[in-house]
Structure 1
Amino acid sequence: MKKSFVYKNSLSIVFLTLFVAALFGQIVFGWKVHNSELSDVGQRPLELLHYLRSGHFISATFENFQSEFLQMMLYVFLTIFLRQIGSAESKKLNEKEPVDREPRPSPDAPSPVRSGGWRLKLYKHSLSIAFAFLFVFSWAMHLFGSFRYYNDELIMDNEPSINLISFISKPDFWFESLQNWQSEFLSVASIVILSIFLRQKGSPKSKPVDAPHMETGK
């Protein structure tokens, strides 16, 4: 039986839909919160499009993005080398897995595999490279947004603005970053450890329900 496009892509469709809905909610409520802050200090409220260019919105948005991409970058990279006995999220302890084999050209293989050379070398690490780029970009945007918002607050308080070097040496930006990073590290540790002992029938993130606790991988 031929499956529909929605069925074949339902996981990404659902998560992208949830992302758009949550982002829309963040925009609406963030806009209201920021305008309330402006009103409290006698400033005019921002129009929505102006708010989307504000440091308040950029900082809040990319503060979350960068921690997620950091999590995925480290998860993809560290699971190459590190193991956790009994975890569904770990490779097996003492044997090679399909992901470890050298790529072999075939008619159905991705074009970089068929091409070989530098394209293949780059493609073999393309997932971690992509997450690293997304993390660095999001980190830079978070820095830009936080710097802009910090100076906006100084100006509202009739204080002089500061430069980027002075801002990055302050604790504010690092507090924002690290409070998100630690939650991402905890969430990864949770799925790694809990999948040793707990099960979810039908989920590829779980071992089979009848698998022994110390069986590593799926």
Structure 2
Amino acid sequence: MNRAARVLRDNGLGLAFGGLFLLALAGQGVAGHAQYNDQQVAEGSDPVGLGDYLTSSSFAVDVVENWQSEYLQFFLYILATVWLVQRGSPESKELDETGTESDADQLVGPHARPDSPRWAHPGDWRTTVFSRSLGLVMGAVFLLSWAAQSVAGWAAYNAEQLGSRQDPVTWAGYLAEPDFWNRTLQNWQSELLAVGSMAVLAVFLRQRGSPESKPVGAAHGDTAMTG
């Protein structure tokens, strides 16, 4: 196998989802542009070009409001699975392994292996930061995308206000508007439902060959097993 083929194989999951993300984003841009222009015409306004739509607050808020909910989902799941378990789920740790576990279990400090990441070895603040880096990054991306949603949503909301000859609101005022919380909570509830459903359904259902599923013949009560 040549080097290019090996890179594609070794990174297939990330590359596939990255490609699907770009296709979906492009499709959203085209469909959103068509919908936006339909609304413009219905309101007696001129349609806009695709470039103008893609740089508009309307498109921006539609994109980032989904991003923030996705990263919230993973941020909460990463933290929750440290302490909470689900009997029989491959998405859960063993029932008696709640908490942050010992240094020996986590291969940090004197228990680090030669091939462990550099910051797993010292046992000082660097190890503390690295041992929580996934949650920190997911949480930071969630907060940044949520902040971006609030700004883009504020701009889109004020554009609608001005279009209907109503007074615009301040950014702080927009945070108290139903529009902001409707956009936020309609995404949160769907993500939380999906995560909870996955954890519970994986107790009783199987997907052969997937590491997100238990082996087909595993008992329903077997916990933390993957296929």
**Counterpart-to-counterpart distance in 1, 2:183 and 2:64:** 11
Q: How many percent identity over aligned positions?
A: 39
The two structures, once aligned, show a CA RMSD in angstroms of 2.0
The aligned amino acid for 1:101 is Q
Aligned-residue offset at 1:47:
2.6
Query: SS of the counterpart of 1:4?
Result: helix
Q: Which moved more, 1:38-47 or 1:205-214?
A: 38-47
TM-score normalised per structure 1: 0.93
State which drifts further: 50-59 or 8-17: 50-59
Q: Count how many residue pairs are aligned between Structure 1 and Structure 2.
A: 218
Q: Which residue of 2 aligns with 1:57?
A: 59
Q: Tell whether 2:146 aligns with 1:139.
A: yes
Q: Deviations over 1:83-124 (max 9, x none)?
A: 111111110012477995251333322121245422211100
Q: Which has the higher contact order (CA 8 A, sep 6+)?
A: 1
Equivalent residue number for residue 211 of structure 1: 218
1 CA distance for matches of 2:212 and 2:162? 49
* 1:153 aligned residue: 160
- How far the C-alpha of 1:162 sits from its partner, in A, is 1.1
Distance 1:102 1:11 in 2: 26
Structure 1 residue 5 displacement after superposition: 1.0
Partner of 1:101: 106
Q: Which consecutive residues of structure 2, in runs of 5 or more, have no partner in the other structure?
A: none
Matches within 5 A, 1:6-17: 6-17=8-19
Superposed displacement of residue 35, structure 1 = 2.0
Match of 1:76 in 2: 78
User: In 1, Cα distance between the equivalents of 2:173 and 2:182?
Assistant: 15
Matches within 5 A, 1:107-122: 107-122=114-129
1:174 and 2:176 are equivalent in the alignment? no
Q: TM-score, normalised by structure 2?
A: 0.89
Name the CA distance, whole Å, in 1 between partners of 2:128 and 2:88. Answer: 32
Contact 1:58–1:142 (Cα < 8 Å) also in 2: yes
